[in-house]
Amino acid sequence: MITLRIGQFSRSPVLGAARHLGWDRDLGLDLQVGPVPSSPAQFAALREREIDVALTSPDNVLLYASTDRNPLGQQLPLRIRRAIDGGLGLALVCRPEIETGEQLTRQPVAVDVLPSGFAMLLKALLRQHGVDEDQCEFIEAGATPKRAERLIEGSIGCTILNAESRVRAESAGMRSWASSEAVSPLYPGTVLATLTESPDISALLELWDRTTQWLLDAPDDEVRAALVAHAPELGSREYLDLMRSPTVGLQRNPAVSIEQLQILADLRKSCGAWAPETAQMRSLAMR
């Protein structure tokens, strides 16, 4: 068996379904999957080889692969190995009592960490709603599930959520103001990334292709049964619709294009943050 350690923020439907179907064992894979508390912690674990694979935002890969101006203070040799999804409904989600931008400026706005791509997307969506980001109080509140908890309990006014965290928040009465599609329908979601010199993950990539196709094509009841067996919160109709969305859902095509990475770079520039050069992005893009 080939052991691969995987660090993720939200639960992966691909990994859950693959285990339910037994395809990981069929391909000789022992997948050890665990949550990471933040993007700096995820890339520190990758650097220290405590994990072999990161399921993460491509903006994080840009930040840690192209400069040392990141929370680790070190440029890492990274590769994007596969596109996973188109964001799974990545959206600005607010407390239900907040109806105007002015009200929002009186509430803490939560991000993972301030240099992250989610923070840049959040600021762009705020600007689209006429909110002056300089009037907002930004706080670092950790990974997506933690931010969803804080939103529901009322200690923050809004944040960026996706996947099961967005579904959970909306089920609790939270309101989505806008999604990543408002920035661009090509906005890239999660990717699978490794160090340049990493263990052989060809079997994992084969597993990913096979399971993604099954999740998108198999009968609804079979897919929902597999997801519920992995995590009950993934079995809702709302989550299935996100996962199968042709724009924000799971991606059959493993490529991540330079055009998609440019969207992230442009967001960074619009926020006055560091942004990679085109040549740096070209070395990471997949076609």
Per-residue pLDDT tens digits for 46-71:
999 999 999 999 999 999 999 999 99
* Average pLDDT of span 210-214: 98
Determine the pLDDT at residue 54: 98
* Average pLDDT of span 13-29: 97
Share of the chain above pLDDT 70, in %: 100
Determine the pLDDT at residue 230: 87
Q: Which two tokens stand for residue 214?
A: 């099954």
pTM: 0.92
Q: Which CATH number fits domain 2-87+188-284: 3.40.1190.10, 3.40.190.10, 3.30.930.10, 3.90.930.60?
A: 3.40.190.10
Mean pLDDT estimate for the chain? 94
Determine the pLDDT at residue 63: 94
* Average pLDDT of span 3-18: 96
Share of the chain above pLDDT 90, in %: 85
Q: Do the Cβ atoms of 284 and 63 come closer than 8 Å?
A: no
Same fold, 2-87+188-284 and 91-182: yes
Hey, CA dihedral for 47, 50, 55, 57, is it positive or negative?
negative
Q: Does pLDDT of 185 surpass 70?
A: yes
Q: Does pLDDT of 266 surpass 70?
A: yes
Closest CA to 104 of 75, 80, 126: 126
| pLDDT tens, position by position, 120-172 | 999 999 999 899 888 999 999 988 999 999 999 999 999 999 999 999 999 99
Domain spans in the chain, listed from the N-terminal domain onward: 2-87+188-284, 91-182
Distance in angstroms (rounded) separating the CA atoms of residues 61 and 19: 27
Determine the pLDDT at residue 287: 58
| pLDDT tens, position by position, 232-248 | 889 899 999 999 999 99
Q: Which two tokens stand for residue 21?
A: 């179907």
| pLDDT tens, position by position, 88-120 | 999 999 999 999 988 988 999 999 888 888 899
Beta strands in the chain (DSSP E): 2-8, 29-35, 53-56, 78-83, 91-94, 108-111, 137-140, 158-161, 175-179, 191-195
Q: Do the Cβ atoms of 267 and 122 come closer than 8 Å?
A: no
Determine the pLDDT at residue 286: 72
Phi, psi of 134, deg, nearest 5: -70, -20
**Residue 271 binned pLDDT confidence (cut-offs 50, 70, 90):** confident
Q: Does pLDDT of 178 surpass 90?
A: yes
CATH 3.40.190.10 is right for the domain spanning 91-182: yes
